[in-house]
A and B are shown apart, each in its own frame.
Chain A
Amino acid sequence: MIDTLIIDGLSFALPLFIMAIGGIYSERSGITNLALEGLQGFGAFFGALWAVTISYYFDIPIQKLYYLALLLSMVGGMLFSMIHALLCIKFKANQVISGVVINILSMALTTFLTTQINIVAFGELSDKFQIGTSVRFTIPGLSKLPVLGAAFKNLYPFEIVILFIALIAAYVLNKTGFGLRLRACGDNPHSVDAAGVDVYKVQFKAVLISGALSGLAGICYTYSILTHFSPSIYMGYGYLSIAALIFGNWKILPTLGACLIFGFARSGGYVLGQILKMPSTFSDLIMTLPYVLTLLLLIFFSKSNRPPRALGEIYDKGKR
C-alpha cells in the first residue's frame, strides 16, 4: 500500500516539478507564465505525434522512440512558448491574457490536429495517439530499503531524466552569470539594462526554457498516467505546477517539496479509495484532492510569499 503511494506519488510529482521549474525560470525573469498548461499539452502532442508517425512509417516499435519523444516534446513546448514570448516581450501584451489564450489555443488546436492527422495519415477515427506506458525499472539494492525503498522501485526512466535536468536547471539559475542576470530581470530590469545586458533576450530565453520543460512534463504524463495523447492531458496539471512554484516561493527546492505534497496527496487519495473500497465513480472526487489541498495551502502560505518584484510588469526601456 505504502509502495503504491510512493511510486505513484513520485511519478506524478516529478513531471509537475520540472514544469514548475520552467515556470520559475519564466517568472523570475519577470514574465508571468500561466501558459504552462497549454505548453505541456502542446509539447506532449508534438512528441507523441512524431513518435506515432515514425513508428508507423518506419515500422519501429514505439517504445524504442522513447527518448526521441522526450526530446521532441521539449522542442514542441519550446516552439509553442515562442508565441508567449513574442506576445509578452516583443509586443508587450498583457501576460495573463496571453497565457490564458495560449492554453485555450493549445487545447483546441491539438484536439483538431490529432483527429485530422489520425484520419489523413493513419486512416483512423480517433482523437488519441496511442503510445502506451513506458517500461519501468527498479534499482537493485536501494529498492530493498524498508519503506523508502519504494522510491527506487518501478521507476519510469523519465524520472531520472527529470532529476538530472532539474539539477542542471538549479545550478544554472543560482550559480551562473545567465542565472544572475535572469533573476535580476525579475526584480529590477532597469538594473540589468544599465549593466549593458539585453533584458528582452534574457526574458525570451527564460520563456523558451519554460516551454521546453513544460513539454517534457507533458510527454511524461502521456507515457505514464494517460498511456496516450488526447485532450485529457489538459487536466489542470499546468495550473497545479504554478501553485507549486508559488508555494515554493519561486525557489527550486521548496517547489520540489510542494510538488511532492501534491503528488502524495493524489496517490494517497487513490490508496484511501481502495482501502475504503469506494466505488470507482468516486475516483473523480479523489482527483480533486490536490486542488482542495491547494486551496488550504493558499490560506497558510500566502502571507509569507514574496513574488519577484517586477513580475508581470511590461518592461519598457524608455520608462523611468
Chain B
Amino acid sequence: MYEYIVEMKNITKRFPGIVANDNITIQIKKGEIYAILGENGAGKSTLMSILFGMYEPDEGEIWIRGERVKILSPNHAAKLNIGMVHQHFKLVHNYTVTENIILGVEPIKKLGGLIPYVDIDDANKRVAELSKRYGLQVDPRQKIENMTVSLQQRVEILKMLYREAEILIFDEPTALLTPQETDYLLDIIEELRRGGKTIILISHKLEEIKRVADRCAILRKGKLIEVLDVKETSTKTMANLMVGREVSLDIDKKPAQFGHVVLEVEDLRVKNQDKVEVVKGVSFKVHSGEIFAIAGVAGNGQVEIADAIAGLTDISGGTIKLNGVDISKYSIRERTIEGISYIPEDRQSYGLILDFTLAENLALKDYYKEPFCQKGFLNKEVIDEYGKKLIEKYDIRSSLGVDTQVRQMSGGNQQKAIVAREIELDSPLMIFVQPTRGLDIGAIENIRKMIIEERDKGKAILLVSLELDEIMSIADTIAIIYNGEIQKVSPAEELTTKEVGEYMMGVTA
C-alpha cells in the first residue's frame, strides 16, 4: 500500500524569464481535500498543469499511488484517474450535457450487429445516475448554451466522474460563481470526498479553503512556503503567508471631505435588450471627495446605471450631468474627454484588448492624441515609454514588460493595468464596477487603497459592488438598489451591514 495517492517531489518548472515552480514538494493523502493557496501568478496553476500532463516538469518526480509516473498528456492523466475542472470550461455549446460528457469515450453499439452508432440513451441514463448520486441536479438532455456558469461547471465535474476519476483537481472553481453557487459547489466537493475521491482545490479565497480543506499548501512566487493544517490555522495567518507580509482589509481612511457636486443623475431610466425597464427613475448626486457606493444583489440594475453614465448603454429617460453639463447625449469618447474614467465589470471584454500589448492597452484612451499619435501615425516609442512609466508607478507585473500580450497576464495585473490607465486620465468622476472581482487578497487591498487615494485627491467615485464587505469598508455614502429603484441613500456610518442586506433583499420597513 501507499501512504500518499499523489506525490510531487522537487518539481521545478521554468518559463522564459520566470521560474514558475521552484523545487516544490507536495504529498496528498487519499480522500482528503488538499488546497493550494497562493496569489495570482504564484505558480498554483502551473503545478497542477504538470500533474495533469499539460506541462512537463524540468526537474522532479511524480508518484501516483506509490508508483513513479511520467504524465505526458491530459489523456494519460485521465488514464491514471486524474480529472481536472479548468477555469475556462471546455464544453461544446450546441451539444447536450451527455454529448459533452461522452465526447472521446462514446459508448458504441451496433445497429443490427453491424452498423455502429453512439448509444446516447444509455449514456443519458448513466449521467442522470451520477448526477443524482452526487446531488448535482443536472439534466442530461439540456444544451450547454442554455445553462448557467454554475451548471456548466457541474457538467465538467460530471465529465470527470463519468471517466471514473479518483483525483479531482479544481482550478479556482468559485471565481465565476455567486455566493450561493459557491456554497453549493463546496457542498458538492464535500459530497465527493465522502464518495471516496481525493480533491485538490486551487484557490486564493481563504474562506472557502477554511470551510472545506483539510490541508493547505501555500505557494508564493513559485516557492512552497508552508503546508498547514487548515483546522488549526487562522485565515489571517494564511493570508499573511500567502502575500508574504501583513495584509489587512480594514483600511484606514480619513474622514471624507465633500466638495461640489460632480455627478448629478436625475430620473434615469434604462431599458435592457428585451425592452424591459431595468433602471426605473433613479436620482442621486456624487460629490468630489466622496465614494458613493451602489449596493445590491446582482441583476438589480446597478451595472446598467454605471453603463448608462459611461455611455455604453442608451438611456430611455432622465438626465446625467457632469459638472453641470448634460452629457446624456454624448458619445463615449466625448464623455471620457468631459471627465469620466470607467473600470468596467467585465475587464476582459470591455476593459482591455487581450491580444494587444500592455503598452498599447495602457494608451487605449489616449492613443489618438499628441504625442502618442503624430500626424496620423502612432509613435511606438512614446507609447512604450508611457507604458513603462505606468508599469513602474502602479507596480503592474508581467513577464515581458510593455510588450507582454495582456492575455498572458494574471487577472490582478490586468485589473491594475485598467485602473492605472483610468486614473491617469485624471477625470473628476471615476466609476468602478466590481473592481476587485476575482482578485486575490493582496490585489484587493491594493485596488481599494488606490480608490481611497483617488477620493482623497478630490475625485468623485461611483462604486458598484456586489461585495457587501467592500462597500462597508470603503464607501462614504451608500445607496441600495432593488429591482431598478434606489431604496435608500445614507451616509455609510449610519447603516449596519445587516440593514444594508435587508434593503438589498427589498425588505423595507
Contacts and interface: CB of A to CB of B under 8 A. Distances in A.
Interface of A: 171, 175-177, 180-181, 183-184, 187-188, 190-197, 309, 320
A45 B94 CA distance: 39
B111 to A, nearest CB: 9
B90 A191 contact: yes
Contacts of A194: 74, 86, 90
B116 A176 contact: yes
Interface residues of B, number: 25
Given A191-B100, A196-B104, A175 B117 contact: yes
10 contacts: A171-B115, A171-B117, A177-B118, A180-B106, A184-B92, A187-B92, A188-B92, A190-B88, A196-B75, A196-B105
Interface string B405-437: 001000000000000000000000000000000
B93 A195 contact: no
**What 9 A-B pairs have minimum CB-CB distances, sorted nearest first?**
A195-B104, A196-B75, A177-B106, A191-B90, A194-B90, A195-B103, A175-B117, A187-B92, A184-B92
Given A194-B90, A195-B103, 12 more contacts: A171-B115, A176-B118, A177-B118, A180-B106, A184-B95, A188-B90, A191-B103, A193-B90, A196-B74, A196-B75, A197-B103, A320-B407
B354 to A, nearest CB: 10
A195 B117 CA distance: 19
Contacts of A175: 117-118
Nearest to A194: B90
Contacts of A177: 106, 108, 116, 118
B99 interface: yes
Interface in B34-85: 73-75, 78
Contacts of B88: 190, 320
A309 B94 CA distance: 9
Given A188-B91, A194-B74, A181 B117 contact: no
A168 to B, nearest CB: 10
Nearest to B91: A191
B116 A184 contact: no
A180 B115 CA distance: 16
A187 B86 CA distance: 18
Contacts of A183: 92, 95
Contacts of B115: 171
Nearest to A179: B118
A195 B75 CA distance: 7
Contacts of A309: 93-94
B118 A184 contact: no
A176 B107 CA distance: 10
B90 A190 contact: yes
A184 B103 contact: yes
B117 A180 contact: no
Contacts of A196: 73-75, 78, 104-105
Contacts of B103: 180-181, 184, 191-192, 195, 197
A180 B105 CA distance: 11
Contacts of B105: 195-196
A136 to B, nearest CB: 31
Contacts of B73: 196
B90 A176 contact: no
B466 to A, nearest CB: 26
A223 B495 CA distance: 85
Contacts of A187: 92-95
Contacts of B92: 183-184, 187-188, 191-192
A220 to B, nearest CB: 26
A318 to B, nearest CB: 10
A12 to B, nearest CB: 31
Contacts of A197: 103-104
Contacts of A188: 90-93
Contacts of B99: 180, 184
Contacts of A190: 88, 90
A251 to B, nearest CB: 11
Nearest to B87: A320
Nearest to A196: B75
Contacts of B94: 187, 309
Contacts of B74: 193-194, 196
A320 B104 CA distance: 20
Interface in B348-396: none
Contacts of A171: 115, 117
Contacts of A191: 90-92, 100, 103
Of the listed residues A184, A192, A309, A320, the one surrounded by the most CB atoms of chain B closer than 10 A to its CB is: A184
Contacts of A192: 92, 103-104
B442 to A, nearest CB: 23
B169 to A, nearest CB: 13
A181 B104 contact: yes
B56 to A, nearest CB: 13
A309 B91 CA distance: 12
A147 to B, nearest CB: 35
A184 B103 CA distance: 8
Nearest to B75: A196
Given A196-B74, A196-B78, A180 B91 contact: no
A149 to B, nearest CB: 32
A180 B90 CA distance: 15
Contacts of B75: 196
